[in-house]
């Protein structure tokens, strides 16, 4: 298949993916309340599990119909290099913990990767009804508005963002803490939040200037990596090599800030 044929086909799959994440997001919105306050961990987990069941099955059916030849990312592949072919990296309720606490930072995301490269992504944020879409070579958009990364070139003027880590990753906790301390001394402002897609979308839109994370999972950063690249940003690992599925870490930023951010974070062991 030629590059042009792939582009045309990907655009059609993207439209189907947008419809799928919208539908899933609307179902989740019916379960969402700003007044939600889980009383304990058991209640939190029960609500989160019901959210997954509300969104997951129908979302997967719609995406499978849109691209039957694509495989599904399993837990075992979330932090490793992907085998060849096409893979869906999907989060049926990204930011589930926020949803069940009545916070608006949750979404439904679907990214299609081809031979290890994100080629299209659809992210629906029901609150406040924003569809983010990107296709490789075609730009990144939010409700039809083209996204563009920041023009900043001075790290001291930058808003830096990072995420958190999976449970039990004690060494990653240490590195996150050290890196935040280091970046606090270099950047204008540092924010740490979940899920990762949200700060990455802020970088793509120029509202924030850089994002880094240790031990990222693929569903958490695949969409954001495509959005930032298509918005004119630079995405590498923390050694400065091109980011790929399985990379141990990620740095995504406005191009003029990337070298300074790499140098700053290189002091963290």
**CB-CB contact of 115 with 106 (8 Å):** no
Burial 98-123 (b: 16+ CB within 10 A, else e): bbbbeeebbbbbbbbbbeebbbbbbb
Q: How deeply is 90 buried, as exposed, middle or buried, from its count of CB atoms within 10 A (0-12, 13-18, 19+)? A: buried
Question: What pLDDT is recorded for position 208?
Answer: 99
**Domains in the chain, ordered, with CATH?**
3-146 (3.30.540.10), 155-265 (3.40.190.80)
Residues forming beta bridges with residue 72, ordered by sequence position: 88
Question: What pLDDT is recorded for position 225?
Answer: 98
Kindly indicate the confidence band of residue 78, based on its pLDDT and cuts at 50, 70 and 90. Answer: confident
pLDDT per residue over 165-188, tens digit each? 888 889 999 999 999 999 999 999
Structure tokens at 51: 């959210």
pTM: 0.94
pLDDT per residue over 138-152, tens digit each? 999 999 999 999 999
pLDDT per residue over 32-76, tens digit each? 999 999 999 999 999 999 999 999 999 999 999 999 999 999 877
User: Which candidate, 152, 258, 196, 215, places its Cα nearest to that of 266?
Assistant: 258
The Cα 138–Cα 160 span in angstroms is: 26
First and final C-alpha spacing in the chain = 44
Cα separations in angstroms, 132 against 12, 75, 127, 200, 255? 16, 25, 13, 12, 21
Q: What stretch of H or E contains 66?
A: helix 41-66
């Amino acid at each position: 298949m030629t590059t042009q044929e792939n582009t045309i086909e990907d655009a059609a799959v993207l439209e189907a993916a947008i419809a799928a994440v919208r539908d899933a997001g609307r179902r989740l919105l019916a379960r969402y309340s700003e007044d939600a306050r889980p009383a304990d961990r058991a209640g939190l987990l029960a609500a989160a599990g019901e959210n997954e069941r509300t969104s997951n099955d129908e979302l997967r059916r719609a995406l499978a119909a849109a691209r039957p030849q694509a495989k599904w990312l399993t837990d075992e592949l979330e932090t490793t290099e992907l085998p060849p072919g096409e893979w869906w990296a999907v989060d049926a309720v990204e930011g589930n913990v926020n949803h069940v606490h009545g916070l608006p930072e949750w979404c439904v995301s679907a990214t299609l990767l081809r031979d290890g490269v994100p080629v299209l992504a659809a992210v629906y944020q029901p609150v406040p009804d924003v569809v983010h879409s990107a296709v490789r070579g075609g730009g990144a958009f939010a409700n039809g508005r083209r996204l563009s990364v920041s023009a900043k070139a001075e790290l001291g003027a930058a808003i830096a963002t990072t995420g958190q880590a999976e449970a039990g990753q004690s060494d990653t906790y240490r590195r996150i803490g050290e890196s935040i301390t280091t970046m606090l001394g270099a950047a204008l402002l540092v924010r740490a939040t979940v899920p990762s897609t949200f700060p990455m979308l802020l970088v793509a839109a120029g509202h924030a200037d850089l994002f880094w994370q240790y031990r990222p999972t693929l569903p958490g950063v695949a969409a954001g990596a495509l959005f930032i690249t298509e918005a004119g940003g630079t995405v590498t690992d923390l050694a400065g090599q091109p980011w790929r599925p399985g990379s141990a870490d990620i740095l995504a930023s406005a191009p003029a800030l990337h070298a300074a951010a790499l140098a700053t974070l290189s002091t963290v062991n």
